[in-house]
Amino acid sequence: MRVPAIKSAKIITGGEVNQSVYNCLVLDESPSGVLVDLGAMFTLPEEMALHMTGGAIYRARRCWAVGTKAGLAFVGAQVLSADTVEKLAQLGRMIQVQGLPATMAALRAQRFFDSAEVRRAAEGAEAAFHRLETVLMG
């Protein structure tokens, strides 16, 4: 099931020597892929990297392309950049020093790094925190 979305992203093709970067707009997404609009007609290769603005990176395979739009299927799990891994580690330290509410605000500002796993874990922790607070406060 696809969910409508309007997100900017970059498609990276080629290797380090002949790398090409295409700005695109994600129109809808699902756990297994996205619909993108490149804004112009390009011939995309079969495999590429999709860098979402929120920090998520996916290896993707072109399933179809018509005009400026293309359907991309994710190949494997989300790839975290070194920068994203460091930001997640900083947030891990933040939860220890500043607590859950401040960390949740920071995670929301980062849009949970476009990671369903991070979002589920954070929202579960927040719900448990509020339940505990309610029980303790009576």
Summarised one tens digit per residue, pLDDT across range 59-80 is 999 999 999 999 999 998 888 7
- Of 41, 58, 74, the residue that ends a domain is 74
Q: In this structure, are 53 and 89 located in the same domain?
A: no
Q: Residue 54 pLDDT > 80, yes or no?
A: no
Closest by alpha carbon to 109, among 87, 77, 133, 135?
Answer: 87
Q: Where are the alpha helices (DSSP H) in the chain?
A: 82-98, 100-109, 116-137
Q: In this structure, are 65 and 104 located in the same domain?
A: no
The CATH number for 56's domain is 2.40.10.10
Q: In this structure, are 57 and 89 located in the same domain?
A: no
CA dist list (Å): 70 to 2, 8, 41, 87, 127: 14, 14, 10, 31, 38
Q: In this structure, are 46 and 87 located in the same domain?
A: no
pLDDT of residue 94: 93
Q: In this structure, are 17 and 48 located in the same domain?
A: yes
Q: In this structure, are 57 and 90 located in the same domain?
A: no
pLDDT of residue 8: 94
Q: In this structure, are 108 and 131 located in the same domain?
A: yes
pLDDT in tens, 100-120: 999 999 988 887 877 778 889
Structure token digits, residue 123: 């929202």
136: left (phi over 0), alpha (psi -120 to 50) or beta: alpha
The segment with the largest mean pLDDT, out of 3-7, 11-15, 62-66, is 62-66
**Average per-residue pLDDT in the chain?**
90
Q: In this structure, are 96 and 131 located in the same domain?
A: yes
Total-model pTM: 0.69
- End-to-end Cα separation, the chain, in angstroms: 41
Q: Which domain holds residue 55?
A: 3-74
For residues 26 and 106, give the distance between their C-alpha atoms in angstroms, rounded to a whole number.
Answer: 23
Overall domain count for the chain? 2
